[in-house]
Amino acid sequence: MPKQLSFAGPSLVFVTGTDTSVGKTTLTCILLCYLIHSGVRVAAVKPLCSGGRGDAQLLARLQNEKWPLELVNPFWFAAPLAPGVAARQEGRRIRLAQVQRYLARMQASCDCLLVEGAGGLLTPLGEGFNLADLIVDMDGAAIIVAANRLGAINHTLLTVSYLRHLGIKKIKVVLMELCRKNMVSHSNSLILSELLTTTPVFSVPFLGSRASELAVLKKNAKKNQKTLARILRIDRL
């Protein structure tokens, strides 16, 4: 039996990225695995996505289908475009209030709700709104995920700067290693920590070429539990 945790972190955590394919799903999955193993009442969702639905299916499988796919990912569109654009192609109009009501219901069912975004922070999700609007309106915490490669400093600073401009203060940055550490990845962490003096910067090591497999995700969650605990700010009883 896992030891119970006293969850001292935010109850609503949005995982966004500096771009698409930077490691948002992988980070969301290992955070989810860690919280489940630790006995925290947690749920993880990807409210809006388009094209492939694999990310949402993976989240559902990690939660042992406790939530059906339609609840993990209630707004799905077939075209591989930004969700807001893909929805219009299908003649659908997704409103901010719809997504807010859905997230409020899910948040009421757990101690911590992890919400994975689609693409970057300003990717159109529906009619006139993006993930930044959801974070502001629902007073959520933001985890910014960046692939630890050349360009990460600029992209991360822009994303953090925009969130700060909106008045969001609960921000953390997580650099996802794409391979073994090199000169660029090492300097990215140092420079971002130096420039983002009030925003914690964390690094998750390269998790291997099979990182999206369930068994590998669970293994990596256990292996990196100290870092994940610091990201989530939780304390063992």
Q: Which residues are catalytic?
A: 46
Nearest to 75 by CA among 43, 46, 96, 107: 46
Strand partners, 26: none
Distance of CA 14 to the CA centre of its chain: 5
CB 174 within 8 A of CB 203: yes
DSSP state, residue 73? S
For residue 147 the two structure tokens come to: 């692939």
Distance of CA 224 to the CA centre of its chain: 16
Strand partners, 5: 236
- Residue 7 Cα distances to 4, 40, 203, angstroms: 9, 7, 22
For residue 44 the two structure tokens come to: 């993880």
CA distance 123 to 125: 6
